[in-house]
Amino acid sequence: MEHEFSGEVIEWRGPAPYYFVPVPDDDAAALKAAAAAAGHNSWGMLPIRARLGDTEWKTSLWSRDGGYLLPLKDGVRKPQGLDAGDTVDLRLTFVEPARKPAQRKAAKRVPVPRTTGSREPVTDEQLTIVPANEASWQDLQAIFGAGDPARCWCQRFRMLPKESWASEGPEELAARLRDQTACGDRRAQETSGLVAYLDGAPVGWCAVAPRADHARLVRDFRVPWLGRDEDRTDPTVWAVTCFVTRAGYRRRGIGRALARATVPFARKAGAQAVEGYPDLVDGGSVGTLAMFADAGFTEVARPGNRRAVLRVDF
């Protein structure tokens, strides 16, 4: 069932602006009912297909105050010259989750490999690294697995005020990452990371996107800013914020290869610089100093004994 309505574009005025269109209460209730009937847990984000003029895209409605907000990404908003206060005509359709047979069929296209625990280093020639929108969502799910990455879904630095893993839940955080990456949509103009494959199997993920898109990084963390005179809202500076290597493939150099790939990826996307913020003690999900140095990054700041800022200027 399609829902058509007119709404006003609103802006969340954080350090990086986000634009939304509130969904009218009646339409929001109908969409929630459709999701419940399809067995979808509608407390979180709601997968939908949206249409604005001649532009159609898949995204997820954000649950707020008992209703829903439609995120209006720049790839849709800017070509049509829309800004806060403008009125738009929209059509929304709930995207029903795939049935189990379809899921089994999709799994056959990318066989799940046996992980032998090999520690043999991989070379760049053995890996295929692609923008995330050229990977499937099933591949990204396989990389994140069931541990901490599948609790955070690479949203640590992107959360809005008062949000947390617990308050938002893994389903909503996963939906946000799916929207940010546009997985499976090769025509997408924007994507926020890279996916690595080894012998056809998805084995690694790296998040790289405009620094200003990371609301919590801009708002709460001192690491990028201490001792530096930086415009926090500069959209031309990109940030490498997360690495995930699939269980069974770790300590083989996949993260290093992804770090190297971030430089041409950011440059091609129009960035004028790209930064990384490694943990000097254990690396963790943000990467190690050696990874970034190997990728050609240069240290520009050390805001403490544990963290550093490394950067490549184009």
Query: For the domain that residue 83 is a member of, what is the CATH number?
Result: 2.40.30.100
Which of residues 94, 129, 164 is at a domain's end? 94
- Quote the tokens at residue 308: 């550093």
* Residue 246, domain CATH: 3.40.630.30
Regarding whether 175 and 256 lie in a shared domain, the answer is: yes
274 is a domain residue: yes
Q: Does residue 99 sit within a domain?
A: no
Q: What is the mean pLDDT of residues 153-179?
A: 89
Q: Are residues 116 and 239 in the same domain?
A: yes
pLDDT higher than threshold 60 for residue 285: yes
Domain assignment of residue 26, yes or no: yes
pLDDT in tens, 47-73: 788 888 888 887 878 777 777 888 887
Whether residue 88 is found in the same domain as residue 130: no
Q: Residue 265 has what pLDDT? A: 97
| Domain stops at, among 51, 67, 94 | 94
The pLDDT of residue 157 is: 92
E strands, 23-142, are 46-52, 55-64, 67-71, 87-94, 127-131
| 84 and 132 housed in the same domain | no
Position 45 scores a pLDDT of 64
227 with 277, same domain: the answer is yes
d(CA 37, CA 117): 43
* Structural domain includes residue 101: no
Residues 40 and 176 placed together within one structural domain of the fold: no
The answer on 166 and 69 residing in a single domain is no
Q: Is residue 64 situated within a structural domain?
A: yes
Residue 161 lies in a domain: yes
- Tell whether the model's pLDDT for residue 43 goes beyond 90: no
The share of the chain scoring above pLDDT 70, in percent, equals 88
Please give the pLDDT value at position 244: 97
- Closest to 311 (Cα-Cα) out of 207, 220, 206, 237: 237
pLDDT computed for residue 28 by the predictor: 82
**Same-domain status, 195 and 308:** yes
Last residue of a domain, one of 59, 94, 129: 94
Looking at the fold, whether 119 and 35 belong to one and the same domain comes out as no
- Looking at the structure of the chain, the number of domains it has is 2
* pLDDT score for 101: 41
* DSSP-assigned letter for residue 154: T
For 93, the token pair is 């359709």
Q: What residue numbers bound the domain in which 165 lies?
A: 106-313
Looking at residue 114, its pLDDT comes to 46
Q: Is residue 100 part of a domain?
A: no
Domain match, 274 and 181 both: yes
Query: Are 162 and 247 in a shared domain?
Result: yes
Q: How far apart are the first and last CA of the chain?
A: 48
Q: What is the pLDDT of residues 188-236, one digit of tens each?
A: 888 999 999 999 999 999 999 999 999 888 887 888 999 899 998 899 9
Q: Provide the CA 5 distance to its chain's centre, in angstroms.
A: 28
Residues 297 and 188 in one domain: yes
Convert the pLDDT of each residue in 292-301 to its tens digit: 999 999 999 9
Question: Using one digit for the tens of pLDDT, what is the confidence trace for 246-283?
Answer: 999 999 999 999 999 999 999 999 999 999 999 998 88
